[in-house]
C-alpha cells in the first residue's frame, strides 16, 4: 500500500453526491440535496460504504422495499491504493452484480475533505445509464 | 470486557434466529457479512443472504432488500453489551434506533445475541438473533 493509505484510514461522512451522465455531462444531485452516508476505511484494509438518498421512508410494502433498495448503496471489500486511485475488490454488495468487481475511485484529500470520483459505469438504479459519481466526504 | 478487543474487521460465520428449541438460518447456511468496529467508536456492517438473485423489477428489488442488512452508527460498550445508535441504514426505520447486542469473545470468534423480543418470523412467539463473527485475517 502506498503512503497515501494512512491518510484515508478512518470514518468519512457524506457531504454531497452528484451523478454525471457520461454522455451528456449533465450533473444531478440524484440522491437529494442532503444524502446520508458513511465510509469506513479500516487499518486492516477493508472498505465499507453505506449511502442513502434524502427523504426515504421506513418500508412497509413490497413497493416501499423496492423503492428503499433503489435509493441506497451498500458494499464492502478489501481496498488497495494505487497512486490517486482506491481500488476495492467487492466481496459483498446490496447489488449482487457488484460482487467480484473492482470498484475504482479517484481520490484527493483536501484538509478534512475527501473528494471522490468514481470511474464511469452503468447503474441499474439509473436505468442502466453510464454514470460517474462525484462525491465529497468529510472526516468524522 | 473492553472495547479494545472488539476493534477491527469481522467476517460473518452464521446468522440465526432462535425460537425456543428451534434454530433457523434466516439468510441461508452460507450468508455473507462483514463488520468493522473502529477505534473511534463507529460500527458498520453489511450482511447478505446466500443465493440472492440480481434483478430490477419491483418484486426482485423488494426481495433483494429483504435479504440483506446494512447499517452503521456510533457504538458504546456497557458491560457485555455493545449498543449502536444507528445513523444510516438500508432500512430507514432503523435510523435513530439503538441496536443493543450481548457479546462474548472466544479467541478469534465473536458471539453476538440480540435481546429476546416478539417474533416477526413466528408471530406469537419470542425469538432472538444469534450471530457469529470471526476476526478477518
What confidence tens digit (pLDDT) does each residue in A100-139 have?
Answer: 999 999 999 999 999 999 989 888 777 888 999 999 999 9
- Residue B1 pLDDT class (50, 70, 90 cuts): low
Contacts of A98 (CB under 8 A, 6+ apart): A75, A90
- Contact assignment for B44 to A72 by CB distance below 8 Å: no
Residue ranges of chain A with pLDDT lower than 70?
Answer: 1-4
Touching check for B31 and chain A: CB below 8 Å?
A: no
Compute the distance between CA of residue B88 and CA of residue B94 in angstroms, rounded to an integer: 8
Which of A69, A93, A124, A139 is the mutation pick for testing B, counting most B CBs within 10 A? A69
Long-range interactions of A93-100: CB distance < 8 A, separation 24+: A93/B46, A93/B48, A94/A69, A94/B46, A94/B48, A94/B64, A94/B68, A94/B70, A94/B90, A95/A124, A95/A125, A95/B54, A95/B64, A96/B48, A96/B52, A96/B53, A96/B54, A96/B64, A97/A124, A97/B54
> Grid coordinates standing for B89?
441504514
B75: left (phi over 0), alpha (psi -120 to 50) or beta: beta
Touching check for B56 and chain A: CB below 8 Å?
A: yes
- Contact assignment for A63 to B62 by CB distance below 8 Å: yes
Nearest-CA distance from B114 to chain A in Å? 21
What confidence tens digit (pLDDT) does each residue in B27-55 have?
Answer: 999 999 999 999 999 999 999 999 999 99
Question: Given a cut of 60, is residue B5 above it in pLDDT?
Answer: yes
B68 contacts on A by Cβ (under 8 Å): 74, 94
When the candidates are 2.40.128.490, 2.40.340.10, 2.60.120.380, 3.40.50.2300, the CATH number that belongs to A5-139 is 2.40.128.490
Which of A48, A51, A78 is the mutation pick for testing B, counting most B CBs within 10 A? A48
Q: Which domains does chain B show, CATH number per domain? A: 3-135 (2.40.128.490)
Amino acid at each position: 500500500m502506498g503512503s497515501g493509505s494512512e491518510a484515508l484510514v478512518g470514518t468519512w461522512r457524506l457531504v454531497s453526491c452528484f451523478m454525471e451522465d457520461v454522455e451528456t455531462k449533465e450533473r444531478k444531485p440524484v440522491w437529494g440535496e442532503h444524502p446520508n452516508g458513511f465510509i469506513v476505511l479500516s487499518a486492516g484494509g477493508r472498505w465499507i460504504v453505506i449511502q442513502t438518498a434524502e427523504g426515504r421512508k421506513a418500508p412497509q410494502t413490497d413497493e416501499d422495499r423496492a423503492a428503499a433498495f433503489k435509493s441506497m448503496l451498500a458494499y464492502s471489500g478489501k481496498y488497495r491504493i494505487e497512486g490517486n486511485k482506491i481500488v476495492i475488490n467487492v466481496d459483498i454488495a446490496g447489488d449482487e452484480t457488484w460482487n467480484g468487481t473492482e470498484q475504482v475511485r479517484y481520490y484527493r484529500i483536501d484538509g478534512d475533505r475527501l473528494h471522490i470520483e468514481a470511474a464511469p459505469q452503468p447503474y441499474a438504479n439509473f436505468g442502466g445509464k453510464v454514470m460517474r459519481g462525484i462525491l465529497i466526504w468529510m472526516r468524522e | 470486557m473492553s472495547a479494545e478487543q472488539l476493534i477491527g474487521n469481522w467476517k460473518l460465520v452464521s446468522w440465526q434466529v432462535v425460537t425456543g428449541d428451534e434454530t433457523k438460518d434466516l439468510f441461508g447456511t452460507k450468508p455473507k457479512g462483514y463488520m468493522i468496529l473502529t477505534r473511534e467508536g463507529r460500527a458498520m456492517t453489511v450482511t447478505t443472504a446466500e443465493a440472492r438473485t440480481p434483478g430490477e423489477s419491483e418484486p426482485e428489488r423488494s426481495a433483494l432488500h429483504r435479504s440483506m442488512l446494512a447499517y452503521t452508527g456510533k457504538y458504546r460498550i456497557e458491560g457485555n453489551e455493545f449498543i449502536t445508535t444507528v445513523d444510516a441504514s438500508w432500512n430507514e426505520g432503523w435510523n435513530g434506533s439503538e441496536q443493543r447486542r450481548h457479546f462474548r469473545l472466544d479467541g478469534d470468534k465473536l458471539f453476538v445475541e440480540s435481546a429476546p423480543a416478539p417474533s416477526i418470523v413466528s408471530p406469537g412467539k419470542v425469538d432472538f438473533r444469534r450471530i457469529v463473527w470471526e476476526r478477518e485475517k
